[in-house]
Each structure stands twice: as structure tokens, then as C-alpha cells.
Copies of this chain bind each other. A is one copy, B any other.
């Protein structure tokens, strides 16, 4: 019966998890909307041409493709199939950014400019099944398209940190860097242009494997010892400085020490960072720091990049940055863009582990049950009375012994059972039994909703 389970790497969500995930989405959505971001939705699948070679990088290789159907498939199966692309025209989305670019290109004439949107929805990747990796998971993105103003960076950053704060995370540390500045640093140190991407990948591991680990990696990646030494020395200096002093130090290395850039070019690079810092007011529950060695994985970033961590959490909660090329590739003209992604699944797991959701929500306020067949219609009517008062009323179907009914109420965290039997029918009453105190309150049917409200309030 193994085949009768959810496929490997995919998850079902039971009611308690569903309610918590729904709450998480609602809270994030409320913040995004407070910042003027608008919702969009795109299909689960896109034509393969949309995905291929659009900066998805490794994720593109993890795409699920949809098997062609009908005649198209029959024709392919007649011959010798050389390539899986003969078998598939569509793929499931592996992120929400590529679909956004396609969406913007298609609907641009009907969208406001700049276009601020959020999108919370599932994406699919054929990850190897392992702890904490899922093949279907929710992404949660805000992006602003068609503006190159760095006020956008301030806006997406404030929206994201506000959302994280409202989920219960404080002590946020936002690290900021510029892709252009990082590339200039790497080239300025003497790394050749062809090795710059691999050097950045190695530098990205500084936090994980330390200075000597990165030096080994750089050497293994064919970076000269001299360039590696310059970069790591610069890193050491960076760790002792911050803000303006750090920016000045970076400029000094690039201009005076390494003679890599003239003063004007270096100032233009650091100006981007200075401006983001200048445009961003104090963050809710966090601070914004310049980190010249922050790299971020994805290739498509072109300007400021960000990563958000929280004190005591061993992974980043969110990240983002400017990617001015990708959307334009779909539109045939430049479309600057900048966005943030919140790590929904990691945050959900963390909040669940740390009990940040509070107690399990009850399935209903009351469970109505008939204690004899002739009271079944009256039980349904009683449930309707509660519902008319906007109380949440479950109704036990059919007949069962009382312990079985109480057990169901407990399992669903329903605090009160409303019993209707022959005696209640005769007297026009309902017996409201509180499970916690095991007390039963007989009340006239017409007063049952009011009485339940007072029991729930106590």
C-alpha cells in the first residue's frame, strides 16, 4: 500500500497545520497590503521556453515537466526519442520570479507602473528527499518592477522586516551589499574576470568555513594566492569597521592600494550603498549593516542585495535584491526590478518548534448531539441557532454513547457539548456541558446561544 501514500517528498497538512499556515499567510499578506503591494496569481505551469535559460540556475535542473498528451505523445513514442524535450512542452514553476517576469511582459499594458506585487504560492522542485527539504513548498515574494529608484530597496526591506516582526521575530540583522561592488572588489584584488563568479561562490562560504577554509577553496578554484590574500585581508579589515568607515576602507583598497579603479568610479560604486542606508529609516526590530562580503547565490542579481537573520536562528529568514536584467529579457526592453523572498517553510517549521503559534485552535465552539433518534432534527435545529448567532457549531451525526461524543469534542478541542434528548425535547431546552468542568447547564433553546457565549467568555 506504499503507493497509497502521498508521493515521497510531498506533504499533507492536517487541520491544525493548515490553520497555522493559513494564519502565517494572512499575517504576512496583511503587512504587504499595508505597504501597497497587490496580489497576483499565475498558473502552476509555464511553457518550457519561459523557464529555460532565464537565470533559474540550479533550480532549473530541478524542474518537474509535464508529459505531453494525445497525438503529440503518440507521435513521439512512434520514433526513437533522443531528448526529453520531445516529451514535454510545459514545466511546473520552480520559483515565483520567472513567472512574474513572464506575467509582467504579457500584461504590462494593464498594470500600474511601477508595479508592486506580492505572491504567496506553492512551487515545485525535484529536490532529493531529505530532512527539511520538500518537493512542494510555499514561496512568499514581494517585488517592485519598473523603477530603478533605491527607494524601492527601502520599501521592500521595510515591508519584509515589518512582516517578520509581526510574526514574532525581533533582533533582526539585515546585511546589505552591492553585487557590483562585490564584483569590483574581486576583480580589483586580481581575480581574473572568468574566475570572478567562482571566487564569489567561495567567498559566500566565509561564515560557514572561515578564512582559511575560503583560502583553500579559492586556491582550488584556481584563484591566485596573491588575489586570495588581498581579498581575505580586506575581509579581516572589514570585520573591524562599519558604515562610513568601512565604505572608506573599501574605496581606499580599490583606489589607493590596489590601483584597480579611479576615485570617481569607486565612489559611484559605494554611493549605491550609501544611498540605500540614507533612504532607509530605522527598521522595526532590527538594524541594517553593510557587509562587503555578502554574496547570495542567484546569478540574476545586479545591484543591492540583502539577507535577513534573527538572533538565535541558524539560517536566514529572508533575502532579496535588485535584478535589473531578468524581466527585461521577457519584455524586449529594460525593466529594472527588486524584490524580497521570505523563507515561508523554514519560518513555519521554526515557529511550530518554538511554540510561536499559541495553543491549537478549536475546530468549533460547540458540538451539538442528539441523545436519541427522535431528537436528531432538534439537534440540527439547535446547531443552526448557534450558527445564526455566528458561533461555530459542529453537529454530531447519528447516535453514539456520551463518552464517544465527549471524546470527539476533546479531540477537536471543542469546549462545550450541547445535548438534546427526549427530556430536552419535551421542555424545549438544551443541555450545555462544559468539558473542562464536567458541568451541565440546562437552558431554554432560545437562550442557548447567549449562554454559550457567556461560557466561552469565562
Binding site for B on A (CB under 8 A): 1, 3-7, 10-15, 18-19, 21-22, 33-36, 38-47, 49-50, 64-67, 69, 73, 77, 80-81, 84, 87-90, 92, 102-103, 105-107, 110-114, 116-117, 122, 124, 126, 136, 144, 147-149, 151-152, 154-155, 158, 162, 278-281, 330, 363-364, 367, 370, 376-377, 379-381, 383-384, 387, 390-399, 408, 411-412, 414
- Which residue among A12, A89, A110 has the maximum number of chain B CB atoms within 10 Å of its CB? A12
CA–CA, A42 and B67, complex, Å? 22
Q: Cβ of A110: which chain B residues have Cβ within 8 Å of it?
A: 14
CA–CA, A277 and B394, complex, Å? 20
CA–CA, A84 and B88, complex, Å? 12
CA–CA, A6 and B450, complex, Å? 52
Least CB separation from A74: chain B residue: B84
The residue that A395 contacts in the complex, of B11, B43, B124, B151, with Cβ under 8 A, is B151
B397-A43 in contact (CB<8A): no
A22-B39 in contact (CB<8A): yes
The residue that A158 contacts in the complex, of B4, B6, B107, B380, with Cβ under 8 A, is B380
Q: Given the interface contacts A117-B15, A380-B280, A390-B34, does A44 sit within 8 Å of B5 by beta carbon?
A: no
CA–CA, A36 and B393, complex, Å? 6
CA–CA, A126 and B44, complex, Å? 14
A84-B67 in contact (CB<8A): yes
Q: Cβ of A411: which chain B residues have Cβ within 8 Å of it?
A: 112
B65-A67 in contact (CB<8A): yes
CA–CA, A93 and B335, complex, Å? 36
Q: Cβ of A102: which chain B residues have Cβ within 8 Å of it?
A: 4-6
Q: Given the interface contacts A151-B398, A380-B154, A380-B279, does A44 sit within 8 Å of B43 by beta carbon?
A: no
B69-A66 in contact (CB<8A): no
A46-B154 in contact (CB<8A): no
17 additional A-B residue pairs with CB within 8 Å, beyond A36-B392, A151-B396: A3-B50, A4-B102, A10-B43, A10-B45, A12-B42, A13-B42, A33-B364, A35-B383, A44-B124, A66-B66, A67-B84, A112-B363, A114-B408, A147-B397, A151-B398, A281-B381, A281-B384
The residue that A4 contacts in the complex, of B21, B105, B408, with Cβ under 8 A, is B105
The residue that A39 contacts in the complex, of B18, B77, B106, B122, with Cβ under 8 A, is B18
A40-B66 in contact (CB<8A): no
Q: Given the interface contacts A50-B4, A126-B69, does A43 sit within 8 Å of B107 by beta carbon?
A: no
A40-B64 in contact (CB<8A): no
CA–CA, A49 and B154, complex, Å? 50
Question: Interface residues of A: mostly helix, strand, loop or mixed?
Answer: mixed
CA–CA, A423 and B320, complex, Å? 35
B6-A43 in contact (CB<8A): yes
Closest chain B CB from A176 CB (angstroms): 15
Q: Cβ of A155: which chain B residues have Cβ within 8 Å of it?
A: 380, 383, 395, 397
CA–CA, A367 and B38, complex, Å? 14
A395-B13 in contact (CB<8A): no
B67-A40 in contact (CB<8A): no
Q: Which 8 A-B pairs have the closest CB atoms?
A: A36-B394, A149-B398, A15-B38, A149-B397, A10-B43, A3-B49, A36-B364, A18-B39
Interchain Cβ contacts under 8 Å between A and B, 26 examples: A5-B47, A5-B106, A7-B47, A12-B42, A13-B40, A14-B40, A14-B107, A14-B111, A15-B39, A18-B40, A18-B41, A35-B393, A35-B395, A44-B92, A44-B124, A64-B69, A66-B67, A77-B81, A87-B87, A114-B408, A151-B376, A279-B376, A279-B377, A279-B380, A281-B380, A281-B384
Q: Cβ of A397: which chain B residues have Cβ within 8 Å of it?
A: 114, 144, 147, 149, 151-152, 155
Closest chain B CB from A136 CB (angstroms): 5
Q: Cβ of A11: which chain B residues have Cβ within 8 Å of it?
A: 43
A67-B69 in contact (CB<8A): no
CA–CA, A14 and B115, complex, Å? 11
Q: Cβ of A281: which chain B residues have Cβ within 8 Å of it?
A: 377, 380-381, 384
Least CB separation from A106: chain B residue: B5
CA–CA, A46 and B200, complex, Å? 40
B151-A116 in contact (CB<8A): no
Closest chain B CB from A152 CB (angstroms): 5
A46-B408 in contact (CB<8A): no
